[in-house]
Each structure stands twice: as structure tokens, then as C-alpha cells.
Amino acid sequence: MYKVAIEYAENYRFDTVKSTLRQCFVDLGMSANNPLGGIISPGDKVFIKPNWVASRWRESCPHKDSLYSVITHPSVIEATADFVAEALQGKGEIIIGDNPSIDADFNELMDFTKIKKIESKYDVPVKILDLRPLVCDDLANYGKKDLMVSQEGDPAGKVEINLGKESLLYGIDPARFRGVFDERDETIASHTGETQLYTYAKSLYDADVYISIPKMKTHQKVGVTLNLKGLVGSISNKNQLVHWQVGYPEIKGDEYPDKKSYEKSLHEKVTHRGAWPGNDTIWRMVVDLYKGMLKKERKYLSVVDGIVAGEGQGPFCPTSKYANTIVAGDNLLTTDIVTARYMGLEPDKIRYLHYFIDNENFDEAPEKIKVILNGVNCKDFFVSDSKYADFQVVKQWECIKRTV
């Protein structure tokens, strides 16, 4: 039986976060002394992936409050790293990194979070990496591959995984596939027939232990972004990430729900392409990314930062939600299922979660997941009428909200 722990955390003070995280680990059955010793062995390479999607609020956001409703707070990263270093016992390596949005300024992100201070904190080496080989230094150039700036990316290189017929994009005509860039030839070539390619950052993919620290946040294209959607940040070649099919259903697209909204978008500066529940493409990509990760055997840990969370217009323009919560589990999928339910959403109505809940590859029904809520075994967690944190979503996503 899988276990997921949910604990109250009053604020982002480091001592508060670390003690709350330790309690989560105890809830999961780990030792209070060196809790990650059962997951991490001395000599391991441990990759910690936060959500570093942005370095500032986008100008198009209708409101701007705490950036920590968008990205993982550094105190949660540091507290997790403390437990990792303790388990490594002076042998091994810690890597902290992400493939942020292509327009994020990584130096600005480092200055804002001050996370680089932990590079010299432990008796094992720590590296903090921007895994992107291409960046956009001017948002006006977003989507134009030839106007991107090249950089090193992951110094360890890359790992290419071909899912072939296992991909949920297999069998779909790729003619309308759209990745990150306007130039779609590469996207189409990566997802044609039995060629279904995803290029992972090697430092992340080859790690002995993968620790995901996502932000608890809603998402306009898939409903919610946690561990599985966060795997977008594992991919070096962003143009392989199919986000939608150009157009509207009448012409076999899912970028917009109808011709009127599609044509209207052609004359708007700020658009919301693919941002509706009828997007039948992006959730398949999320499933693929998790399948790709499972091709290599490794240990997993998830720590979800929900102290200041994001509701409404995520992932870039959410409203701060003071959920005062940390969620932890040793399985990315079950932690996502529990966290989505805690947010007041129906996991089975979130399509990439529904796939795994309903699919033979996931043999544990949600009601069989043991949920420890503030130290108590919450046996009726999934069937309860409670909306728990009761996150708000944008209007078109009200279909995933828990109703009683």
C-alpha cells in the first residue's frame, strides 16, 4: 500500500519547514533519525527538481502578488537537501536543477531565491543547474527558435527515450502538433509513427534518486500541475513537448474549442492556446513523460510545497492560496492523486491522472492509498464530502472541482 502524508506548516521559516517535513517522513514510516536513509544510500547521486518555471511575473498577468505562488520556496528545497545530505553521510552528490520556461532568467531566479548558498553547506558536492540548451532573452521572440540564445544546458548531456507504440501520441496524425516553437517540423518528426522521442537531461535521468519538489498549483492546460506535469522540466528538447494540435475540433485541432475563439486569437497579443479541458493532446504528453521516467529503475521522493500555493490562472498567473501545507510521498503518481484531492479537485477528472487510475499499469485504486492527514490515518479521504483546501480554478476548469 502506498502512503502519502499531509501536514500543516504555518510559514516558510526554515525551522518550521524542516520540522514539518520531518513529521511527514515519520508519518510515512521513516525514522525520525536520518529519515531518508531507507531511500538514499551513501555514494548515491541525488537529483532534486523544484518548480522554477519563472523568475518574475509576466506582464500579461492580471495580478501579481507572491512569486512563491508560482515557484518552489527555497526553504523547502534547503530542508529537503539537509535530509539528503544526512543520508549520504559524506559520500555522493546532490544536483538541484530544472528546465524552466524558456523565457525565465536563471540568474534572476538565483538572486531572488538565494538558493546557491547551499552549494557549500554540506560535506558532499552540490551543483545547481540550468538544464536548458536554449533560452529566450526577449519575450517578444518567444516561439521563434532561430532567435533563441544557446547555452551549455546539462553538462552531463542527454538521454533520448523512444516510447514507440507505448506513447499516447502514437496513432494520432501529427500534422497539427505544436511544441514550444512555431517551427513545427521538429515536433512532428519526433512524434511520427513508431518514433515517439523525448530527450531527458542526463543529470536528472541517470540519478540514483529523483526528488520532485513541485508547487501545489492549478494549471489552465491540464487542470493541475504537480509531480507528473512537472516532468516537463526534465526535457532538454522542449520542441518535443506537444502542447496542442493547431486549430479547433472541426478541423481536427484542440488549440481552441471553436472557430470563433481560434480566429479571435489571431488578433490578440495575449492568447491562451490549448488552455481548456478539451485539449486532448497535452495530457497525453504528461503520461508519456512519466512512462519515460519509469524506463529506468530509481528511487523517488515527492515533497509538494503548498504553504503558499497557486490557484486560478496557473501556471504563470495564479492567485496566492495560503494552503499552509506540505505533502510528501515516495511515489510521484500517488502523491499527485492525493494532492489533487486535497486541493478540492477530483483526481479521476484530471485526464493524465485518470489514465493511470484506470489503466492496468496502476494497480492501486485511490481508496487503497493510505493518507495520513496531520498525523491521523484518514480512512475516508477520497470518499469524504470535504473539499479540504478548496482551490479555485478558472471557469472552464470547474468540471474538475469536487462537488457535494
- Mean pLDDT to the nearest integer, 146-166: 97
**For helices 332-342 and 282-293, angle between their N-to-C axes, nearest 10 degrees:** 140
Tell me the one-letter amino acid at 286: V
Neighbouring-strand partners of residue 379: none
By CB neighbour count within 10 A (0-12 exposed, 13-18 middle, 19+ buried), where does 330 fall? buried
- Mean pLDDT to the nearest integer, 212-229: 98
- Mind listing the pLDDT tens digit for each residue in 319-356? 999 999 999 999 999 999 999 999 999 999 999 999 99
Question: What pLDDT sits at residue 269?
Answer: 81
Question: What pLDDT sits at residue 228?
Answer: 98
**For helices 282-293 and 351-358, angle between their N-to-C axes, nearest 10 degrees:** 50
Question: What pLDDT sits at residue 368?
Answer: 78
Confidence of residue 143 (pLDDT cuts 50, 70, 90): confident
Tell me the one-letter amino acid at 67: L
Question: What pLDDT sits at residue 360?
Answer: 53
Cα 162 to the chain's mean position, in Å? 21
Q: Across all residues in the chain, what is the average pLDDT?
A: 95
Other beta carbons within 10 angstroms of residue 275's beta carbon come to: 20
Confidence of residue 271 (pLDDT cuts 50, 70, 90): confident
Question: What pLDDT sits at residue 365?
Answer: 56
Question: What pLDDT sits at residue 195?
Answer: 98
Question: What pLDDT sits at residue 193?
Answer: 97
**For helices 332-342 and 351-358, angle between their N-to-C axes, nearest 10 degrees:** 120
Q: Identify whether the C-beta of residue 86 lies closer than 8 Å to the C-beta of residue 34.
A: yes
Q: Identify whether the C-beta of residue 340 lies closer than 8 Å to the C-beta of residue 401.
A: no
By CB neighbour count within 10 A (0-12 exposed, 13-18 middle, 19+ buried), where does 33 fall? exposed
- Mind listing the pLDDT tens digit for each residue in 52-108? 999 999 988 998 999 999 999 999 999 999 999 999 999 999 999 999 999 999 999
pLDDT higher than threshold 90 for residue 361: no
Question: What pLDDT sits at residue 367?
Answer: 66
Q: What cell was used for 90?
A: 559524506
Q: What is the pTM for the complete model shown?
A: 0.96
Question: What pLDDT sits at residue 104?
Answer: 95
Question: What pLDDT sits at residue 196?
Answer: 98
Work out the end-to-end distance of the chain between its first and last CA atoms, rounded to an integer number of angstroms: 28
In eight-state DSSP terms, residue 122 is S
- Mean pLDDT to the nearest integer, 154-176: 98
Residue with cell 471557469: 395
pLDDT higher than threshold 80 for residue 7: yes
The rounded distance, in Å, linking the Cα atoms of 311 and 175 is: 34
Complete DSSP assignment for 312-351: EETTTEEEEE---EEEEES-HHHHHHHHHHHTTB-GGGSH
Question: What pLDDT sits at residue 366?
Answer: 62
